[in-house]
Homo-oligomer: A and B are copies of this chain.
Protein backbone atom coordinates (compact mmCIF):
# COMPACT_ATOMS: atom_id res chain seq x y z
CA UNK A 1 0.00 0.00 0.00
CA UNK A 2 1.32 3.40 -0.95
CA UNK A 3 0.35 5.01 2.36
CA UNK A 4 2.45 2.49 4.24
CA UNK A 5 5.40 3.36 1.99
CA UNK A 6 4.83 7.06 2.62
CA UNK A 7 4.94 6.43 6.36
CA UNK A 8 8.17 4.49 6.04
CA UNK A 9 9.55 7.24 3.86
CA UNK A 10 8.65 9.88 6.44
CA UNK A 11 10.51 7.90 9.10
CA UNK A 12 13.50 7.67 6.78
CA UNK A 13 13.36 11.43 6.11
CA UNK A 14 13.26 12.18 9.81
CA UNK A 15 16.34 10.02 10.27
CA UNK A 16 18.09 11.82 7.43
CA UNK A 17 17.17 15.16 9.00
CA UNK A 18 18.75 14.09 12.27
CA UNK A 19 22.06 13.25 10.58
CA UNK A 20 22.02 16.50 8.65
CA UNK A 21 21.27 18.31 11.90
CA UNK A 22 24.19 16.66 13.66
CA UNK A 23 26.63 17.33 10.83
CA UNK A 24 25.38 20.88 10.37
CA UNK A 25 25.85 21.55 14.03
CA UNK A 26 29.41 20.21 13.87
CA UNK A 27 30.18 22.61 11.02
CA UNK A 28 28.64 25.46 12.97
CA UNK A 29 30.67 24.54 16.03
CA UNK A 30 33.84 24.36 13.94
CA UNK A 31 33.21 27.86 12.65
CA UNK A 32 32.36 29.32 16.03
CA UNK A 33 33.98 27.94 19.17
CA UNK A 34 35.70 24.61 18.52
CA UNK A 35 39.29 24.58 19.81
CA UNK A 36 41.63 24.42 16.84
CA UNK A 37 43.41 21.29 18.08
CA UNK A 38 40.23 19.26 17.69
CA UNK A 39 40.49 19.33 13.90
CA UNK A 40 41.58 15.75 13.20
CA UNK A 41 38.97 14.31 15.56
CA UNK A 42 36.12 16.29 14.09
CA UNK A 43 37.25 15.33 10.59
CA UNK A 44 36.93 11.66 11.47
CA UNK A 45 33.52 12.19 13.02
CA UNK A 46 32.40 13.84 9.79
CA UNK A 47 33.73 10.80 7.97
CA UNK A 48 31.66 8.37 10.03
CA UNK A 49 28.44 10.37 9.83
CA UNK A 50 28.77 11.11 6.13
CA UNK A 51 29.31 7.43 5.45
CA UNK A 52 26.10 6.66 7.31
CA UNK A 53 24.31 9.31 5.25
CA UNK A 54 25.76 8.00 2.02
CA UNK A 55 24.44 4.56 2.90
CA UNK A 56 20.99 5.90 3.68
CA UNK A 57 20.69 8.09 0.60
CA UNK A 58 22.00 5.51 -1.84
CA UNK A 59 20.42 2.35 -0.42
CA UNK A 60 18.22 0.29 -2.75
CA UNK A 61 15.42 0.46 -0.15
CA UNK A 62 15.45 4.25 -0.30
CA UNK A 63 15.42 4.18 -4.07
CA UNK A 64 12.51 1.73 -4.10
CA UNK A 65 10.44 3.89 -1.75
CA UNK A 66 11.10 6.95 -3.86
CA UNK A 67 10.23 5.18 -7.12
CA UNK A 68 7.02 3.87 -5.65
CA UNK A 69 6.01 7.30 -4.40
CA UNK A 70 6.72 8.85 -7.80
CA UNK A 71 4.72 6.13 -9.52
CA UNK A 72 1.75 6.90 -7.25
CA UNK A 73 2.29 10.64 -7.25
CA UNK A 74 -1.44 11.43 -7.55
CA UNK A 75 -2.23 9.61 -4.32
CA UNK A 76 0.54 11.16 -2.25
CA UNK A 77 0.96 14.51 -0.46
CA UNK A 78 2.62 16.88 -2.94
CA UNK A 79 5.38 17.80 -0.47
CA UNK A 80 6.42 14.15 -0.24
CA UNK A 81 6.29 13.74 -4.01
CA UNK A 82 8.52 16.77 -4.49
CA UNK A 83 10.91 15.50 -1.82
CA UNK A 84 11.18 12.13 -3.54
CA UNK A 85 11.71 13.83 -6.90
CA UNK A 86 14.59 15.95 -5.66
CA UNK A 87 16.01 13.05 -3.68
CA UNK A 88 16.20 10.94 -6.84
CA UNK A 89 18.22 13.68 -8.52
CA UNK A 90 20.47 14.02 -5.48
CA UNK A 91 20.80 10.26 -5.34
CA UNK A 92 21.94 10.13 -8.95
CA UNK A 93 24.56 12.74 -8.16
CA UNK A 94 25.89 10.88 -5.10
CA UNK A 95 25.42 7.21 -5.93
CA UNK A 96 27.78 7.44 -8.91
CA UNK A 97 30.59 8.44 -6.54
CA UNK A 98 32.33 5.47 -4.89
CA UNK A 99 31.65 5.55 -1.17
CA UNK A 100 35.27 5.72 -0.08
CA UNK A 101 35.84 8.73 -2.33
CA UNK A 102 32.75 10.41 -0.96
CA UNK A 103 33.80 9.87 2.65
CA UNK A 104 37.41 10.86 1.98
CA UNK A 105 36.20 14.06 0.33
CA UNK A 106 34.20 14.97 3.47
CA UNK A 107 37.32 14.51 5.57
CA UNK A 108 39.57 16.37 3.10
CA UNK A 109 37.17 19.30 3.06
CA UNK A 110 37.33 19.60 6.83
CA UNK A 111 41.13 19.60 6.69
CA UNK A 112 41.29 22.07 3.80
CA UNK A 113 39.07 24.49 5.66
CA UNK A 114 41.34 24.41 8.69
CA UNK A 115 44.49 24.83 6.63
CA UNK A 116 42.90 27.71 4.75
CA UNK A 117 42.28 29.62 7.98
CA UNK A 118 45.94 29.39 8.84
CA UNK A 119 47.14 30.00 5.26
CA UNK A 120 45.03 33.15 5.04
CA UNK A 121 46.43 34.41 8.31
CA UNK A 122 49.95 33.86 7.00
CA UNK A 123 49.08 34.90 3.43
CA UNK A 124 50.63 31.61 2.36
CA UNK A 125 48.97 30.23 -0.77
CA UNK A 126 51.54 27.42 -1.17
CA UNK A 127 50.49 26.00 2.16
CA UNK A 128 46.87 25.82 0.98
CA UNK A 129 47.60 24.69 -2.59
CA UNK A 130 47.84 20.88 -2.14
CA UNK A 131 44.54 20.85 -0.25
CA UNK A 132 42.87 23.02 -2.86
CA UNK A 133 44.15 20.76 -5.64
CA UNK A 134 42.72 17.73 -3.87
CA UNK A 135 39.27 19.31 -3.63
CA UNK A 136 39.32 20.47 -7.25
CA UNK A 137 40.35 17.02 -8.46
CA UNK A 138 37.59 15.39 -6.42
CA UNK A 139 34.92 17.78 -7.67
CA UNK A 140 36.02 17.22 -11.27
CA UNK A 141 35.82 13.47 -10.79
CA UNK A 142 32.42 13.69 -9.13
CA UNK A 143 31.01 15.88 -11.92
CA UNK A 144 32.29 13.47 -14.56
CA UNK A 145 30.94 10.41 -12.73
CA UNK A 146 27.56 12.09 -12.81
CA UNK A 147 27.60 13.51 -16.35
CA UNK A 148 30.58 12.13 -18.25
CA UNK A 149 29.75 14.09 -21.38
CA UNK A 150 28.74 17.47 -19.97
CA UNK A 151 31.20 20.33 -19.38
CA UNK A 152 32.32 19.93 -15.77
CA UNK A 153 31.60 23.46 -14.65
CA UNK A 154 28.05 23.38 -16.02
CA UNK A 155 27.36 20.26 -13.96
CA UNK A 156 28.63 22.07 -10.89
CA UNK A 157 26.67 25.26 -11.50
CA UNK A 158 23.53 23.21 -11.92
CA UNK A 159 23.99 21.80 -8.41
CA UNK A 160 23.62 25.24 -6.86
CA UNK A 161 20.97 26.60 -9.21
CA UNK A 162 19.14 24.14 -11.34
CA UNK A 163 19.30 25.16 -14.97
CA UNK A 164 22.13 27.63 -14.61
CA UNK A 165 25.05 27.20 -17.02
CA UNK A 166 28.02 29.04 -18.48
CA UNK A 167 26.08 30.14 -21.56
CA UNK A 168 23.57 32.03 -19.38
CA UNK A 169 26.26 33.37 -17.07
CA UNK A 170 28.49 34.53 -19.91
CA UNK A 171 25.58 36.60 -21.23
CA UNK A 172 24.70 37.81 -17.75
CA UNK A 173 28.20 39.00 -16.90
CA UNK A 174 28.61 40.54 -20.35
CA UNK A 175 25.54 42.70 -19.69
CA UNK A 176 26.80 43.61 -16.24
CA UNK A 177 30.26 44.49 -17.49
CA UNK A 178 28.99 46.43 -20.48
CA UNK A 179 26.50 48.50 -18.51
CA UNK A 180 28.26 49.04 -15.21
CA UNK A 181 31.90 49.55 -16.11
CA UNK A 182 31.09 52.92 -17.76
CA UNK A 183 29.17 54.02 -14.65
CA UNK A 184 32.08 53.08 -12.40
CA UNK A 185 34.46 54.95 -14.67
CA UNK A 186 32.47 58.18 -14.33
CA UNK A 187 32.68 58.32 -10.54
CA UNK A 188 34.84 61.20 -9.39
CA UNK A 189 34.20 63.07 -6.18
CA UNK A 190 34.01 60.84 -3.16
CA UNK A 191 31.89 61.68 -0.11
CA UNK A 192 33.24 62.08 3.41
CA UNK A 193 33.02 58.71 5.15
CA UNK A 194 35.35 59.45 8.04
CA UNK A 195 32.56 59.30 10.64
CA UNK A 196 32.01 55.61 9.83
CA UNK A 197 35.49 54.99 11.17
CA UNK A 198 35.21 56.67 14.53
CA UNK A 199 35.45 54.43 17.59
CA UNK A 200 32.31 52.27 17.84
CA UNK A 201 32.68 50.02 20.93
CA UNK A 202 31.61 46.42 20.42
CA UNK A 203 29.20 46.57 23.38
CA UNK A 204 27.25 49.36 21.65
CA UNK A 205 27.39 47.58 18.31
CA UNK A 206 25.87 44.51 19.95
CA UNK A 207 22.93 46.60 21.11
CA UNK A 208 22.60 47.92 17.57
CA UNK A 209 22.59 44.34 16.21
CA UNK A 210 19.76 43.44 18.59
CA UNK A 211 17.83 46.42 17.28
CA UNK A 212 18.41 45.40 13.66
CA UNK A 213 17.23 41.86 14.42
CA UNK A 214 14.02 43.41 15.76
CA UNK A 215 13.60 45.61 12.69
CA UNK A 216 13.97 42.51 10.51
CA UNK A 217 11.36 40.80 12.66
CA UNK A 218 13.64 37.92 13.64
CA UNK A 219 12.28 36.21 16.76
CA UNK A 220 15.18 35.39 19.06
CA UNK A 221 13.38 32.34 20.30
CA UNK A 222 14.18 30.76 16.93
CA UNK A 223 17.06 32.82 15.61
CA UNK A 224 20.27 33.62 17.40
CA UNK A 225 23.14 35.91 16.51
CA UNK A 226 26.75 34.98 17.21
CA UNK A 227 30.19 36.27 16.33
CA UNK A 228 32.70 34.79 13.89
CA UNK A 229 35.44 36.18 11.72
CA UNK A 230 33.44 35.41 8.58
CA UNK A 231 29.72 36.06 9.01
CA UNK A 232 27.37 33.32 7.84
CA UNK A 233 23.89 31.89 8.29
CA UNK A 234 22.94 28.32 9.01
CA UNK A 235 19.73 26.62 9.99
CA UNK A 236 18.59 23.30 11.37
CA UNK A 237 14.92 23.61 10.37
CA UNK A 238 13.19 26.99 10.53
CA UNK A 239 13.00 26.63 14.32
CA UNK A 240 16.74 26.95 14.75
CA UNK A 241 18.29 29.62 12.54
CA UNK A 242 21.66 31.14 13.36
CA UNK A 243 23.43 34.13 11.95
CA UNK A 244 26.83 35.50 12.83
CA UNK A 245 28.51 38.85 12.44
CA UNK A 246 31.94 40.34 12.98
CA UNK A 247 32.52 43.61 14.81
CA UNK A 248 35.15 46.12 13.78
CA UNK A 249 35.40 48.93 16.30
CA UNK A 250 36.60 51.31 13.59
CA UNK A 251 33.92 50.51 10.98
CA UNK A 252 30.33 50.63 12.16
CA UNK A 253 28.87 49.72 8.75
CA UNK A 254 30.74 46.40 8.56
CA UNK A 255 28.73 44.53 11.17
CA UNK A 256 25.59 46.56 10.39
CA UNK A 257 25.43 45.22 6.85
CA UNK A 258 26.55 41.74 7.86
CA UNK A 259 23.61 41.56 10.24
CA UNK A 260 21.16 42.78 7.60
CA UNK A 261 22.64 40.46 4.94
CA UNK A 262 22.62 37.36 7.13
CA UNK A 263 19.30 38.52 8.54
CA UNK A 264 17.95 38.34 4.98
CA UNK A 265 19.00 34.70 4.73
CA UNK A 266 17.44 34.08 8.14
CA UNK A 267 14.18 35.78 7.13
CA UNK A 268 13.90 33.39 4.18
CA UNK A 269 14.45 30.32 6.35
CA UNK A 270 12.17 31.53 9.13
CA UNK A 271 9.24 31.95 6.71
CA UNK A 272 9.32 28.56 5.05
CA UNK A 273 5.87 26.92 5.29
CA UNK A 274 5.32 25.10 8.57
CA UNK A 275 3.88 22.19 6.59
CA UNK A 276 7.27 21.40 5.06
CA UNK A 277 9.52 22.67 7.86
CA UNK A 278 11.03 19.30 8.75
CA UNK A 279 11.25 17.92 5.24
CA UNK A 280 14.35 18.22 3.06
CA UNK A 281 12.38 20.67 0.90
CA UNK A 282 11.85 22.92 3.93
CA UNK A 283 14.70 25.30 3.17
CA UNK A 284 15.85 27.86 0.62
CA UNK A 285 15.56 26.51 -2.91
CA UNK A 286 18.92 27.57 -4.34
CA UNK A 287 21.95 29.66 -3.57
CA UNK A 288 20.96 32.38 -6.03
CA UNK A 289 17.50 32.70 -4.56
CA UNK A 290 19.02 32.71 -1.08
CA UNK A 291 21.52 35.39 -2.01
CA UNK A 292 18.75 37.33 -3.70
CA UNK A 293 17.13 37.66 -0.28
CA UNK A 294 20.23 38.50 1.74
CA UNK A 295 21.38 41.04 -0.81
CA UNK A 296 17.85 42.41 -1.19
CA UNK A 297 17.71 43.26 2.50
CA UNK A 298 21.32 44.37 2.65
CA UNK A 299 21.33 46.64 -0.37
CA UNK A 300 17.98 47.36 -1.95
CA UNK A 301 16.31 47.92 1.41
CA UNK A 302 19.24 48.39 3.82
CA UNK A 303 21.23 50.83 1.71
CA UNK A 304 18.16 52.84 0.64
CA UNK A 305 17.64 56.34 1.94
CA UNK A 306 14.17 55.61 3.44
CA UNK A 307 15.63 52.77 5.49
CA UNK A 308 18.49 54.91 6.81
CA UNK A 309 15.96 57.60 7.69
CA UNK A 310 13.92 55.04 9.61
CA UNK A 311 16.74 53.67 11.73
CA UNK A 312 18.95 56.73 12.10
CA UNK A 313 17.27 58.14 15.22
CA UNK A 314 17.92 54.85 17.00
CA UNK A 315 21.50 54.81 15.74
CA UNK A 316 22.05 58.29 17.11
CA UNK A 317 20.63 57.14 20.42
CA UNK A 318 23.03 54.16 20.57
CA UNK A 319 26.06 55.94 19.11
CA UNK A 320 25.43 59.27 20.79
CA UNK A 321 28.90 60.77 20.48
CA UNK A 322 29.95 59.17 17.22
CA UNK A 323 26.94 60.29 15.17
CA UNK A 324 25.94 63.54 16.84
CA UNK A 325 27.19 65.73 13.95
CA UNK A 326 26.02 63.41 11.15
CA UNK A 327 22.70 63.52 9.25
CA UNK A 328 20.76 60.55 7.93
CA UNK A 329 21.47 61.75 4.39
CA UNK A 330 25.21 61.93 5.01
CA UNK A 331 25.10 58.44 6.47
CA UNK A 332 23.14 57.17 3.46
CA UNK A 333 25.69 58.67 1.07
CA UNK A 334 28.60 57.26 3.07
CA UNK A 335 27.37 53.66 3.14
CA UNK A 336 26.90 53.83 -0.62
CA UNK A 337 30.38 55.05 -1.46
CA UNK A 338 31.44 53.19 -4.63
CA UNK A 339 35.06 52.50 -5.36
CA UNK A 340 36.99 49.53 -6.74
CA UNK A 341 38.44 47.63 -3.79
CA UNK A 342 40.21 44.44 -2.80
CA UNK A 343 37.73 42.54 -0.69
CA UNK A 344 34.48 41.16 -2.08
CA UNK A 345 32.56 41.13 1.18
CA UNK A 346 33.39 44.79 1.76
CA UNK A 347 32.69 45.85 -1.82
CA UNK A 348 30.01 48.39 -2.57
CA UNK A 349 26.86 47.45 -4.44
CA UNK A 350 28.07 48.88 -7.75
CA UNK A 351 31.43 47.16 -8.09
CA UNK A 352 30.37 43.97 -6.30
CA UNK A 353 29.50 41.98 -9.41
CA UNK A 354 32.96 42.53 -10.84
CA UNK A 355 34.44 40.71 -7.84
CA UNK A 356 32.09 37.85 -8.56
CA UNK A 357 32.93 37.93 -12.25
CA UNK A 358 36.64 37.40 -11.48
CA UNK A 359 35.80 34.31 -9.45
CA UNK A 360 33.40 33.04 -12.11
CA UNK A 361 35.97 33.37 -14.88
CA UNK A 362 38.63 31.64 -12.79
CA UNK A 363 36.34 28.77 -11.82
CA UNK A 364 35.23 28.32 -15.42
CA UNK A 365 38.84 27.99 -16.52
CA UNK A 366 39.77 25.76 -13.57
CA UNK A 367 37.06 23.25 -14.43
CA UNK A 368 36.33 23.64 -18.13
CA UNK A 369 39.66 24.99 -19.29
CA UNK A 370 43.31 24.69 -18.62
CA UNK A 371 43.94 26.88 -15.59
CA UNK A 372 45.94 25.05 -12.92
CA UNK A 373 45.31 25.75 -9.25
CA UNK A 374 48.91 26.78 -8.77
CA UNK A 375 48.38 29.66 -11.22
CA UNK A 376 45.35 31.05 -9.40
CA UNK A 377 47.16 33.85 -7.51
CA UNK A 378 48.79 35.19 -10.68
CA UNK A 379 45.54 35.09 -12.64
CA UNK A 380 43.54 36.49 -9.74
CA UNK A 381 45.85 39.48 -9.48
CA UNK A 382 45.88 40.01 -13.24
CA UNK A 383 42.08 40.07 -13.41
CA UNK A 384 41.69 42.39 -10.42
CA UNK A 385 43.98 44.76 -12.27
CA UNK A 386 42.05 44.36 -15.51
CA UNK A 387 38.47 44.55 -14.19
CA UNK A 388 38.84 46.67 -11.08
CA UNK A 389 42.03 48.52 -11.87
CA UNK A 390 43.71 47.68 -8.58
CA UNK A 391 46.86 45.96 -7.45
CA UNK A 392 46.54 43.03 -5.05
CA UNK A 393 49.25 43.40 -2.39
CA UNK A 394 49.15 39.83 -1.04
CA UNK A 395 47.20 36.57 -1.27
CA UNK A 396 45.51 37.15 2.05
CA UNK A 397 43.66 40.04 0.45
CA UNK A 398 43.62 38.25 -2.90
CA UNK A 399 42.94 34.68 -3.78
CA UNK A 400 42.82 33.51 -0.15
CA UNK A 401 40.20 36.00 0.99
CA UNK A 402 37.06 33.83 0.62
CA UNK A 403 36.32 30.62 2.50
CA UNK A 404 34.26 29.05 -0.30
CA UNK A 405 36.90 27.10 -2.19
CA UNK A 406 38.33 25.78 1.08
CA UNK A 407 35.04 24.01 1.78
CA UNK A 408 34.60 22.79 -1.78
CA UNK A 409 32.08 25.43 -2.83
CA UNK A 410 33.05 25.80 -6.48
CA UNK A 411 30.25 27.15 -8.67
CA UNK A 412 28.71 29.00 -5.75
CA UNK A 413 30.02 32.51 -6.40
CA UNK A 414 27.89 33.33 -9.45
CA UNK A 415 24.81 33.03 -7.23
CA UNK A 416 25.82 36.23 -5.43
CA UNK A 417 25.64 38.20 -8.67
CA UNK A 418 22.56 36.45 -10.03
CA UNK A 419 20.91 36.88 -6.63
CA UNK A 420 21.65 40.58 -6.64
CA UNK A 421 20.04 40.84 -10.05
CA UNK A 422 16.97 38.87 -8.91
CA UNK A 423 16.48 41.40 -6.12
CA UNK A 424 16.35 44.35 -8.47
CA UNK A 425 13.66 42.73 -10.55
CA UNK A 426 11.75 41.68 -7.43
CA UNK A 427 11.50 45.15 -5.98
CA UNK A 428 10.01 46.46 -9.24
CA UNK A 429 7.36 43.79 -9.11
CA UNK A 430 6.71 44.33 -5.40
CA UNK A 431 6.24 48.07 -5.88
CA UNK A 432 3.19 47.32 -8.04
CA UNK A 433 1.47 45.55 -5.11
CA UNK A 434 2.77 47.51 -2.19
CA UNK A 435 3.68 51.01 -1.16
CA UNK A 436 7.10 49.64 -0.31
CA UNK A 437 8.96 52.82 0.51
CA UNK A 438 6.30 54.27 2.78
CA UNK A 439 6.61 51.18 4.94
CA UNK A 440 10.41 51.21 4.80
CA UNK A 441 10.48 54.88 5.79
CA UNK A 442 8.50 53.89 8.92
CA UNK A 443 10.93 51.04 9.62
CA UNK A 444 8.09 48.58 9.12
CA UNK A 445 9.36 45.67 7.01
CA UNK A 446 6.46 43.35 7.82
CA UNK A 447 4.46 43.92 4.62
CA UNK A 448 7.63 43.31 2.59
CA UNK A 449 8.40 40.07 4.40
CA UNK A 450 4.75 39.07 3.97
CA UNK A 451 4.94 39.70 0.21
CA UNK A 452 8.15 37.70 -0.09
CA UNK A 453 6.68 34.91 2.03
CA UNK A 454 3.61 34.77 -0.21
CA UNK A 455 5.64 34.67 -3.43
CA UNK A 456 8.85 32.92 -2.44
CA UNK A 457 9.57 31.83 1.12
CA UNK A 458 6.66 29.58 1.95
CA UNK A 459 7.35 27.31 -1.02
CA UNK A 460 10.75 26.11 0.16
CA UNK A 461 11.94 23.80 -2.61
CA UNK A 462 8.49 23.03 -3.94
CA UNK A 463 9.27 24.73 -7.28
CA UNK A 464 12.40 24.87 -9.43
CA UNK A 465 14.30 28.08 -8.63
CA UNK A 466 14.01 29.51 -12.14
CA UNK A 467 10.28 28.92 -12.24
CA UNK A 468 9.79 30.23 -8.72
CA UNK A 469 11.46 33.51 -9.61
CA UNK A 470 9.67 33.85 -12.94
CA UNK A 471 6.35 33.44 -11.17
CA UNK A 472 7.36 35.96 -8.52
CA UNK A 473 8.48 38.43 -11.21
CA UNK A 474 5.46 37.70 -13.39
CA UNK A 475 7.98 37.73 -16.25
CA UNK A 476 11.22 36.05 -17.37
CA UNK A 477 14.42 37.00 -15.57
CA UNK A 478 15.96 40.12 -17.09
CA UNK A 479 19.32 41.35 -15.75
CA UNK A 480 18.78 44.86 -17.11
CA UNK A 481 16.52 45.53 -14.08
CA UNK A 482 19.69 45.17 -12.07
CA UNK A 483 21.93 47.31 -14.27
CA UNK A 484 19.17 49.94 -14.58
CA UNK A 485 18.66 50.01 -10.82
CA UNK A 486 22.38 50.49 -10.15
CA UNK A 487 22.82 53.03 -12.94
CA UNK A 488 19.95 55.12 -11.60
CA UNK A 489 20.99 54.85 -7.95
CA UNK A 490 24.62 55.74 -8.53
CA UNK A 491 23.90 58.44 -11.11
CA UNK A 492 21.86 60.19 -8.45
CA UNK A 493 24.33 59.58 -5.64
CA UNK A 494 27.29 60.83 -7.64
CA UNK A 495 25.41 63.37 -9.81
CA UNK A 496 26.56 61.64 -13.00
CA UNK A 497 25.16 62.93 -16.27
Q: State the CA gap A222–B33 with chains docked (Å).
A: 11
Inter-chain contact A239/B22, CB cutoff 8 Å: no
The contact of A48 among B15, B38, B48, B221, by CB within 8 Å, is B15
B residues less than 8 Å from A236 (CB atoms): 38, 41-42
Q: Is A468 an interface residue (CB 8 A)?
A: no
Task: Give residues of chain A (15-42) contacting chain B, Cβ–Cβ below 8 Å.
Answer: 15, 17-19, 21-23, 25-26, 28-29, 32-38, 40-42
Q: Is A188 an interface residue (CB 8 A)?
A: no
B residues less than 8 Å from A29 (CB atoms): 25, 28-29
Inter-chain contact B45/A21, CB cutoff 8 Å: yes
Most buried by B among A14, A17, A236: A236
Chain A 92-130, CB within 8 Å of chain B: the 1/0 string? 000000000000000000000000000000000000000
Task: Give residues of chain A (207-265) contacting chain B, Cβ–Cβ below 8 Å.
Answer: 219-224, 226, 236-237, 239-242
Minimum distance in angstroms from A218 CB to a CB of chain B: 10
Q: Is A44 an interface residue (CB 8 A)?
A: yes
Inter-chain contact A44/B14, CB cutoff 8 Å: yes
The contact of A44 among B18, B23, B219, by CB within 8 Å, is B18
The contact of A237 among B34, B41, B47, B223, by CB within 8 Å, is B41
Inter-chain contact A14/B48, CB cutoff 8 Å: yes
Q: Is A278 an interface residue (CB 8 A)?
A: yes
Minimum distance in angstroms from A46 CB to a CB of chain B: 8
Q: State the CA gap A239–B42 with chains docked (Å).
A: 10
Inter-chain contact A36/B221, CB cutoff 8 Å: yes
Inter-chain contact B41/A21, CB cutoff 8 Å: yes
Most buried by B among A15, A17, A18, A241: A18
Q: Is A388 an interface residue (CB 8 A)?
A: no
Q: Is A79 an interface residue (CB 8 A)?
A: no
Q: State the CA gap A41–B14 with chains docked (Å).
A: 10
Inter-chain contact B224/A41, CB cutoff 8 Å: no
Q: Is A49 an interface residue (CB 8 A)?
A: yes
Inter-chain contact B278/A35, CB cutoff 8 Å: no
Chain A 414-448, CB within 8 Å of chain B: the 1/0 string? 00000000000000000000000000000000000
